[in-house]
Structure 1
Amino acid sequence: MKFTPRSEETRQFIIESTAAVFNTKGYAGTSLSDLTEATQLTKGSIYGNFENKEEVALAVFDYTIAHRDKIIAKAQQKSVTNKDKLLAYVAIFGSEHSGDFIKGGCPLLNAGTEADDTFEPLRKKVNKAIIDWKKEIESILQAGIAAKEFNKNILPEKTALSIMALIEGGILLSKTTNKPAYLNTVLDSVKDMIDAISRE
């Protein structure tokens, strides 16, 4: 028998109320009591709208990624050139804008590190989010090449992966050492890379 939530409105409330908890404590580290505390709902109310904690976790990941994507899209709407669109990543992931994202840091990094060997449904969602992000950057690079903003000899996939790896690596270094300056230093390298592929 297919599970049917009691209320889509309550379901969304649970997702939004627990997003920061999952993103901070981790998907395995978040308990049912954490969920009831964050929502002020009973166990019955939570499990009346989700089959189990894993289903809540998957819905929360979708929500945190959608939130992240909206921030990126909003920043890029102000961009005039393809180079500006790439530089928007440098701006929005900088430590001074960390408060724009859901508490706990990058959901890709958090979920990907935790789920790689233990939570296959979540790993698949992280994989899709990473591939979507890579395609988005590749598309910007290809548009920039066509518009003669970027060097025609660059390899879009390699460049996209390098930008992504630097950003995520910078977030990891900053978070684990509690030194926001490390992230800003790495993002300066991303900016240098973008400048290097740009045509005068």
Structure 2
Amino acid sequence: MSKGEETRQRIIAQAAPLFNQRGYEGCSIQDIMSATGLEKGGIYRHFGSKEELAAEAFDFAWTLTSTHRRQKLDEIPNHVDRLKQYIANFVSRPRLPGGCPLLNTAVDSDDGNPILREKVRKALRNWKSLLENILNEGIIAGTIRPNIDPLKVASVLIAGLEGGMLISRIERSDRGLHNTLEFLDAYLEMEVRNPIKISKKSDQPVR
């Protein structure tokens, strides 16, 4: 990696928590200059606009967050338990000030930042696809009920998690998130986990 690219990546990494905490309008170039120790010209040497930097910062924040949420998933064979681990990872949260970048940026970009809004839409589509894939794999493997709607379940999980995050931020307490974890864990057990198991000896379903 060239020195110029190293500087560019450093700017993105240092700007990401600022945008995530303060939003696009609330984060000024002066804030970024203070965080990076660079002059305005040094920042704009690497980015054509503040909007371009904000978009790159969102990608950085979302990648960091998504990677944290996927930790240990591949180690878990049962797909409901895999989803429960995902929820636990969400609740534990990575060390990115400001909370979930998707929720923050969705609210921040709703009034007229098309580049950031498209970034959020793409991130949400990928998030839904990740959960849907786990659910579809579970249906094939027999660990998840065959009659569930994967898109609907994925949407319920995302809505619950983001809602719990919002409540926790408003109340300045993790209680909302932990209540969400308990509710979604129970939902997965009662509505999603397939209670039918196959006996290896008889290949007949047993309960």
Structure 1 residue aligned with 2:137: 143
Structure 1 residue aligned with 2:58: 61
Instruction: Give secondary structure in 2 for the equivalent of 1:131.
Output: helix
Moved over 4 A (4+): none
Structure 1 residue aligned with 2:31: 34
Deviation at 1:166, TM superposition (A): 0.3
Rounded Cα–Cα distance in structure 1 between residues aligned with 2:67 and 2:95:
10
Rounded Cα–Cα distance in structure 2 between residues aligned with 1:73 and 1:162:
18
Structure 1 residue aligned with 2:109: 115
Rounded Cα–Cα distance in structure 2 between residues aligned with 1:171 and 1:91:
13
Structure 2 residue aligned with 1:70: 67
Structure 2 residue aligned with 1:154: 148
- Tell whether 2:97 aligns with 1:103: yes
CA contact (8 A) 1:75 1:92 kept: no
CA contact (8 A) 1:67 1:101 kept: no
Deviation at 1:89, TM superposition (A): 2.0
What one-letter code is carried by the residue in structure 2 that aligns with 1:76? L
RMSD of Structure 2 on Structure 1 (CA): 1.5
Deviation at 1:75, TM superposition (A): 2.9
Rounded Cα–Cα distance in structure 2 between residues aligned with 1:105 and 1:182:
13
Q: TM-score by structure 2 length?
A: 0.89
Please identify, of 71-80 and 113-122, the stretch whose mean Cα deviation from structure 2 is larger.
Answer: 71-80
Q: Which has the higher contact order (CA 8 A, sep 6+)?
A: 1
CA contact (8 A) 2:70 2:89 kept: no
Identical-pair percentage: 36
- Tell whether 2:85 aligns with 1:91: no
What one-letter code is carried by the residue in structure 1 that aligns with 2:100? C
Q: Which runs of 5+ in 1 are unaligned?
A: 1-5
Deviation at 1:72, TM superposition (A): 2.1
What one-letter code is carried by the residue in structure 2 that aligns with 1:72? R
Instruction: Give secondary structure in 1 for the equivalent of 2:70.
Output: helix
In the alignment of these two chains, the number of paired residues is 193
